[in-house]
Structure 1
Amino acid sequence: MQCHHHDAHRCGSCTLLQVAYADQVSDKEAHCRSLVAAPGLTWLPPVTGPESAFRNKAKMVVAGTVDEPTIGILDAAGEGVDLRDCGLHSPGLQAALPVLSSFVTTARLTPYDIAERRGELKHLLVTEAPSGGLMVRLVLRSQEPVTRIRKHLPALQAALPRLCVVSVNLQPEHKAVLEGPDEIVLTPAETLTMRIGDLDLHLRPQSFFQTNTEVATALYRQARTWVDAVAPASLWDLYCGVGGFALHCAAPGRTVTGIEVSAPAVESAGLSARQARLPGVSFVAADATAYALGVSRAPELVIVNPPRRGIGADLATWLEASEVGHVVYSSCNAESLARDLALMPSLRPVEAVLLDMFPQTRHYEVMVLLSR
């Protein structure tokens, strides 16, 4: 992949850009194998996708002026660097960002000036569905510009016919936090439909979804293969988000329960289950660890897909002491995965696979099947 921003030293986000892609994958797998090792562990071939134009999500800092905004990142001096043509973004995102830049000017959305602590628009968060549909979120300091955004929204929808969901996120605090807790949806549609395999997942503005759609599809497919081979009668999907693993692993005669702390994500997962008419699938809004520690009977198989910090000692200790026969652990941080595995010695890794969700960086996803 060639990038003129990288060559001009405007952006250093792609830390592995000068490393051949095959070597990137090989090095990542070697790193992962050094952390996740067990007698008899079988490593499946790494899962890869395109090394460019793979991102379905753009998280862009807005800087500059209302008449000449920059959409991208900030440099060391706090000045905006425009990355509307970033080669990691899907073609749909690359086409949408210039239109959104024009909308900033039309709606008079003054970019937030960090040094001066004034202005309104902090970030543009844009997600593209496999269908080409778009979700646009504008992170603002206050509600002051919302009336202008509503006024000019029809023109934006005409310029971006694939636009499905538009919302405003409020982040009034002056700190390095991408978004705030409050969301105002400005369109009739509140969810973006992400068609993954033969299932529709419904993504709300603050819901998590994997950045790389092609590799995420392979992730769910591999999890379903492992689960179907084990054929458990009962399954939990902890940290289930909008239900990707739970929905893909549903089967006749199998009870599937997804646990997620975000109530809106649980609502989306339930909608997907109803639309797909999946029997025996339910979702609960709860903390994953608290839920596990609070029940009297464990399922036969547990799927965990935690944030970078891992599942932690409490949940790992519970799994070790439980009657759970198999665990599918999907991790974006092999170091926290290794720490958690050390607390579950009776759950032995039997198969593992590296999924290169983030080409051009040192980050990756790894998924492991554990058997007691």
Structure 2
Amino acid sequence: MRCAYFDAERCRSCTWMGRPYGDQLADKQAHVEALLGAGPQWLEPFESPESGYRNKAKMVVTGTAAEPMLGILDAAGHGVDLRECGLYPPSLQAAFPVLAAFVAHANIAPYDIAARTGELKNLLVTQSPDGELMVRFVLRSQEPVTRIRKHLPALLDALPSLRVVSVNLLPDHKAVLEGEREILLTPAETLRMRVNDIDLHLRPQSFFQTNTPVAAALYRQATQWVSGVAPSSVWDLYCGVGGFALHVAAPDRDVVGIETSVEAIASAQLSAAERHADHVRFEAGDATAFALAHGAPDLVIVNPPRRGIGARLAGYLDASPANHVVYSSCNAESLARDLDAMPSLRPVHAQLLDMFPQTTHYEVLTLLERV
């Protein structure tokens, strides 16, 4: 893949841009095998499209209300417009000029970091597999909300695929993407993300994998492993909107999903209710605290953030009667540390899934079995 932004040194976020894709996959596979060792049986890496794979755009808004720019900040803090970034599919790219025109029409001043003035900090745009959109305006205050509401019908007419619109309030001057408070502006509260014929509902503050085709492969492989060992009870820790839990659900299997995000749990509960998945239950809470307070099931699925599951949960799983763990990791280094803390659980199968082409990052799925 070639990128004009990268070649012009306007954006260097994709550190492996321009490298042959086969070389990228080979280096990632070598990296994860060096960390995990020769123990597991490795499946072939799952490839991603090299471009157009991102279902979510996190756009910093700079410039002026009359001429907003959507993209990133360079090292000097200046805005770089990335509306034609090749990581986004054409259908998502097509929404950016419409959203920029809306910002100008509603007269929403971009936030000036140096001067600490203005309102609009980020635009967060998510596209479903069916092409529907969720748009979130990250603002410093509620001041522009009235104007956004006033002009929203025009935006909905200009973007017929737009289903969910919200405002996120980030009043603090911090280098974070979003704040805690969300104001929904549309009757629809969730974006329907159909993955492997399962409808997962995504609320504005819920996490979803960036690469939908690779996420689908991730869930399929986990489901195959779980079906192979046929557990009667499963925990899905760090369950997000319930992707793993709903994929491995079966009439004779009790499944519990745990996630700290109340928004994500609400999404997961809605998806479960629509599927009449009576044996699947979701609760908001800390994964480690939940595990320490309950007896372990036959199989545990963990899909933690980059820091991994940590020593306490790893120690609990190592000492528990659970016979299998399915570990989905976006950071093989923290995975390796966690595996060292679980010597009673041996990795028997593993697969690299290339969630993030053109970068050093990837997902790795591992099936652990009690020795």
TM-score calculated relative to the size of structure 2: 0.99
Q: Distance in 2 between matches of 1:172 and 1:225?
A: 45
The residue number in structure 2 matching 1:161 is 160
| Cα deviations by residue, 1:113-164 (Å, 9 ceiling, x for unpaired) | 0111100000000000001000000000000000000000000000000000
Of stretches 8-17 and 142-151 in structure 1, the one that deviates more from structure 2 is 8-17
Q: Sequence identity, in percent? A: 69
Q: Distance in 2 between matches of 1:171 and 1:71?
A: 18
1:368 corresponds in structure 2 to: 366
Q: Which amino acid aligns with 1:198?
A: D
The equivalent residue for 1:42 is: 41
Q: Which amino acid aligns with 2:25?
A: V
Q: Which residue of 2 aligns with 1:246?
A: 245
C-alpha deviation, 1:298, in angstroms: 1.1
What residue number does 1:181 align with? 180
- State the distance in 1 between where 2:146 and 2:314 align: 49
Helix, strand or coil for the counterpart of 2:146? helix
Query: What runs of 5+ residues in structure 2 fail to find an aligned partner?
Result: none
- Give the distance between the partners of 2:262 and 2:59, measured in 1 at CA: 26
Work out which of the residue numbers 317, 321, 324 in structure 1 matches 2:322: 324
Structure 1 residue runs of 5 or longer lacking an equivalent are: none
The whole-number CA distance in structure 1 between the counterparts of 2:320 and 2:218 is: 26
Moved more, 125-134 or 263-272: 263-272
CA distance in 2, matches of 1:77, 1:164: 36
Secondary structure of 1:344's counterpart equals: coil
Structure 1: how far apart are the matches of 2:274 and 2:13?
A: 39
Amino acid aligned to 2:331:
N
Contact 1:243 1:269 in 2 (8 A): yes
CA distance in 1, matches of 2:104, 2:169: 20
Determine the structure 2 residue equivalent to 1:133: 132
Q: CA deviation at 1:38?
A: 4.6
* Structure-1 residue corresponding to 2:189: 190
Q: Which residue of 1 aligns with 2:57?
A: 58
**1:259 paired residue number:** 258
Q: Deviations over 1:86-131 (max 9, x none)?
A: 1001222100011001011000010000111100000000000001
The residue number in structure 2 matching 1:22 is 22
Tell me how far apart the structure 2 counterparts of residues 92 and 344 of structure 1 sit (CA, whole Å): 44
Instruction: State the shift of 1:210 in Å.
Output: 0.2
Alpha-carbon distance in 1 for matches of 2:76, 2:239? 39
Counterpart in 2 of 1:313? 311
Conserved? CA contact 1:165–1:187, under 8 Å: yes
Find the aligned partners of 1:263 and 1:109 in 2 and give their Cα distance.
Answer: 30
Q: What does 1:226-237 correspond to in 2, within 5 Å? A: 226-237=225-236
2:79 aligned partner, one-letter code = G
Q: Give, in whole Å, the separation in 1 of the partners of 2:176 and 2:224.
A: 38
Aligned to 1:358: 356
Structure 1 match to 2:10: 10
Q: Within 2, Cα distance between the matches of 1:262 and 1:207?
A: 7
Deviation at 1:226, TM superposition (A): 0.3
Q: Quote how far apart the aligned CAs of 1:68 are.
A: 1.1
Q: Given residue 212 of structure 2, which amino acid in structure 1 is its aligned partner?
A: T
- The 1-side partners of 2:17 and 2:106 are apart by 36
Residues of 2 paired with 1:223 and 1:101: CA distance?
40
Q: Within 2, Cα distance between the matches of 1:153 and 1:367?
A: 42
Runs of 4+ in 1 over 3 A off after TM superposition: none
Name the CA distance, whole Å, in 2 between partners of 1:258 and 1:126. Answer: 26
Determine if contact 1:251/1:279 at 8 Å carries over to the other structure: no
Distance 1:75 1:346 in 2: 47
Offset from partner CA, 1:175-218 (integer Å, 9 cap, x none): 10110000000000010000001110000000000000000000
Q: CA RMSD in A?
A: 0.7
The 3-state SS of whatever aligns with 1:14 is: coil
Other-structure match for 2:296? 298
Distance in 2 of aligned mates of 1:203 and 1:300: 29
Task: Give the secondary structure class of the aligned counterpart of 1:53.
Answer: coil
Q: Distance in 2 between matches of 1:132 and 1:281?
A: 28
SS at match of 1:22: helix
The CA deviation string for residues 239-262 of structure 1, in whole angstroms up to 9 with x for no partner, is: 001000000000120111101111
The more displaced of 268-277 and 145-154 is 268-277
Deviations 1:37-74 (A, max 9, x none): 253x2000001121000000000000011111110011
**SS of alignment partner, residue 353 of structure 1:** strand
Report the number of matched residues. Answer: 370
Q: Which residue of 2 aligns with 1:338?
A: 336
Q: Is the 8 A contact 1:62 1:124 kept in 2?
A: yes
Task: Tell me the distance in 2 between the aligned counterparts of 1:331 and 1:79.
Answer: 34
Residue 276 of structure 1: how far off its partner (Å): 1.0
Contact 1:38 1:349 in 2 (8 A): no
Separation (CA, whole Å) in 2 of partners of 1:115 and 1:286 = 38
Q: Post-superposition shift, 1:279?
A: 3.2
